[in-house]
Homo-oligomer: A and B are copies of this chain.
Amino acid sequence: PKRYSITLLPGDGIGPEVISVAKNVLKLAGSLEGIEFGFQEMPVGGCALDLTGVPLPEETLLVAKQSDAVLLGAIGGYKWDSNEKHLKPETGLLQLRSGLKVFANLRPASVLPQLVDASTLKKEVAEGVDLMVVRELTGGIYFGKPRGFSKNENGEEIGFNTEVYATYEIDRIARIAFETAQKRRGKLCSVDKANVLEASMLWRKRVTAMASEYPDVELSHMYVDNAAMQLVRNPKQFDTIVTNNIFGDILSDEASMITGSIGMLPSASVGESGPGLFEPIHGSAPDIAGQDKANPLATVLSAAMLLRYGLGEGNAAKRIETAVLDTLDRGFRTRDIYEAGTKLVGCKEMGEQVLKAV
């Protein structure tokens, strides 16, 4: 049988619960396709801070780098919220992304027919939404230098960051976006603020220049403020969206919420080579941690993305995705997506039902 090594990073809050479900689903779906997994669990985020004093221990990064793919639960919690920057759980996540060089973050947002009522948007606006945000993940203002605190010429304190993109960074994310659009409905919308920012002007120039290599993809450009509006006005107009790190952070969260079921949404972060990083888009939800209330489906679907985008195991991925839809069809719902007439279950029971369906 084929064998892959998977690094599991349960993290904080509901992370361990949802990872435990996803691990079992991964095992079963794999075994049905003749795939075996070796799992190694490592700490990251708040739990790593408590254990080792840093949010991303060197060993965690090393193990992750040497594995075939990384599955992350969630990080963060009230306990570490007022930590200094280098001791924040979030910093561990940023170091992990940067350390694994996963510059392309793929965030699908689709409204499942079974869950269309969960959206706060009118049914006719929400139904059929199926878009993918391709967010640049290891550049821009998140990592740009110089950054920090200083004084201005009047002696007043300033805080500053640098939004910066080099041509190669734009080109490699644009390429992934064009290829993603090609495999979807052939429409790519590049989002920037090229009417104001030089970093965006270069972005637009390079994306435009690449379009001729993808004659089957229809490229458009949109300013970020307009994109934030259009996602509310008519999200169905979008197929694939490509944008920088900070705009992608904002717009992909907005797009997620438009589906109304962020407990369902996975994400994949991939680089040129080396293991990809797969994680649900929801947070660590410390308020419900350890109470068997979390929705594990976003992590289960992240495991499916891990199989498809991380290991090229499309068949096993398909098994998981079909099982999730089947479980929803059979009426099982966690708290966050519950409505009258469906069956309310906890995190573990939802996992059992998915296993049954696989």
**Interface of A toward B, CB cutoff 8 Å:** 85, 88, 90, 94, 120-122, 125, 141-142, 144, 147-149, 152, 154, 156-168, 193, 195-203, 224-226, 228-234, 246-247, 249-254, 256-258, 262
Contacts and interface: CB of A to CB of B under 8 A. Distances in A.
B162 A167 contact: no
B224 A161 contact: no
**Nearest 9 interchain pairs by C-beta:** A159-B202, A229-B257, A160-B164, A228-B254, A225-B253, A159-B199, A232-B257, A159-B198, A120-B125
B232 A250 contact: no
A339 to B, nearest CB: 14
A147 B232 contact: no
Given A152-B166, A159-B165, A202-B157, A141 B228 contact: no
Nearest to A200: B159
A332 B51 CA distance: 66
A252 to B, nearest CB: 8
Given A120-B125, A228-B251, A160 B257 contact: no
Contacts of A166: 152, 154, 156-158
A251 B149 CA distance: 26
A200 B249 CA distance: 15
A251 B196 CA distance: 17
Copies of this subunit: 2
Given A156-B168, A157-B166, A147 B198 contact: yes
A50 to B, nearest CB: 18
Contacts of A251: 228
21 contacts: A85-B201, A121-B232, A122-B122, A147-B197, A154-B166, A154-B168, A156-B167, A156-B168, A158-B165, A159-B201, A159-B203, A160-B199, A193-B249, A225-B249, A225-B250, A225-B252, A226-B253, A229-B254, A232-B232, A232-B254, A232-B257
Nearest to A224: B250
Contact of A254 (B165, B246, B249, B254): B254
Contacts of A193: 246, 249
A290 to B, nearest CB: 23
Nearest to A81: B195
A228 B247 CA distance: 11
A147 B257 CA distance: 34
Contacts of A163: 141, 160-163
A253 B228 contact: yes
B228 A197 contact: no
Nearest to A206: B157
Contacts of A234: 120
In this complex, the member of A229, A230, A232 whose beta carbon has the largest number of chain B beta carbons within 10 angstroms is A232
B161 A120 contact: no
A256 B230 CA distance: 11
Given A149-B202, A159-B201, A253-B229, A195 B88 contact: yes
A165 B161 CA distance: 10
Contacts of A195: 88, 90
Contacts of A167: 156-158
B250 A228 contact: yes
